[in-house]
Amino acid sequence: MNTLCVERLLWLAIDPRADDEEPHAIEDFVYHRPVLQREVLGLLKPKPGFLIVDGTCGGGGHTEALLQSGADVLALDQDPDAVQHVSERLAHFGRRLIVRQANFRHAASVLDELGLGTIGGALLDLGVSSRQLENAHRGFSFVRNGPLDMRMDPRTKLTAGKIVNEYGEEELTRLFRELGEEPAARRIASLIVKMRRTSPFRETLPLARAIEKLVGRHGRHHPATQVFQALRMDVNDELGALEEGLRVLTARLAPRGRIAVITFHSLEDRIVKNFFRDHSQEWLDKPEWPAPQRNPDYDLELVTPKPVEPSDEEQRANPRSRSAKLRVAEKI
């Protein structure tokens, strides 16, 4: 039995529930296992002379594959750990790789600073990485105790602790219901407000255990999963960044350049689906109009009318990939 298996069994012996969040990609020197890598390469069609923006480089798996295909890559990530990791691991690609700490919503500013105009393609792989979940000090995990932080960019001010301890009950309810799609949103918000009066929440495990005690455990998923998701998304303004990033990156695509986005839950996928739809309709028509009108946002063609999902083989090898959806569009 290899070291990975032993470590996994020891962890599950401590907390069998950890399988809900236990990283499945903690192999030696692996930061985060890239999802749908073969499909991304096949649909983005990178080639020598192309500049691809990898807006969420993470552990560098997709970045490396794009570089190996011959394309140059501008790799962005708001997490300084990811930036350092990719800079060191892929340094042998030399000047063909540029790495910057930045949210992909600010890609235009980075391109301008570098004196770069249009790009040959763009990739966004959304969500939290295995390394971020494994690092208790980042505060993303509900099975490893750490500060209620959840900032992907430590330079930002809003933390999960600030939200949990300062947002009102109605605001928390809305947050858990809309971003977490949590059925027990109001009950959980009420509990948090009540408990924090005597003892503010400072760490992840006390919050996770309070939610579990209130809601109970049903099935594999930890009952705090959706609340933690909502907190993380609010801290990092993930939906706002996605909406802005799609606009920014699409605007910089060269003709026939492609943008690929991998999402992991319905809220993200809906934004991408609607954006691609709204930008791929040449004509708009409404019942009250005398005639159809040309769509001023028409600048894309759908490459994937339906999302591409991981194969059964990939889902078995990497269970975290099971909720991934890939959508791709091409600049006209």
Whole-angstrom Cα distance, residue 118 to residue 113? 13
pLDDT digits (tens, 9 = 90+) for 53-63: 999 999 999 99
Strands 119-125 and 253-263: what pairing? parallel
End-to-end CA distance of the chain: 53
Percentage of residues of the chain with pLDDT beyond 70: 90
Q: Is-above-0.85 flag for pTM? A: yes
Percentage of residues of the chain with pLDDT beyond 90: 82
Whole-angstrom Cα distance, residue 259 to residue 255? 11
Domain borders along the chain are 37-130+238-331, 157-235
Whole-angstrom Cα distance, residue 301 to residue 76? 25
On average, the pLDDT of the chain sits at 90
Please tell me what DSSP assigns to residue 168.
-
> What is the CA angle 259-84-68, rounded to 5?
45
CATH dotted code for 37-130+238-331: 3.40.50.150
Q: What pLDDT does residue 26 have?
A: 35
The CA-based diameter of the chain, rounded to the nearest angstrom, is 72
Q: Is the pLDDT of residue 3 over 80?
A: no
| Right CATH for 157-235 from 3.40.50.280, 1.10.4080.10, 1.10.150.170, 3.30.70.1900 | 1.10.150.170
Q: What pLDDT does residue 14 have?
A: 30
User: What is the residue type of 140?
Assistant: F
Whole-angstrom Cα distance, residue 53 to residue 171? 36
124 DSSP β-pair partners = 261
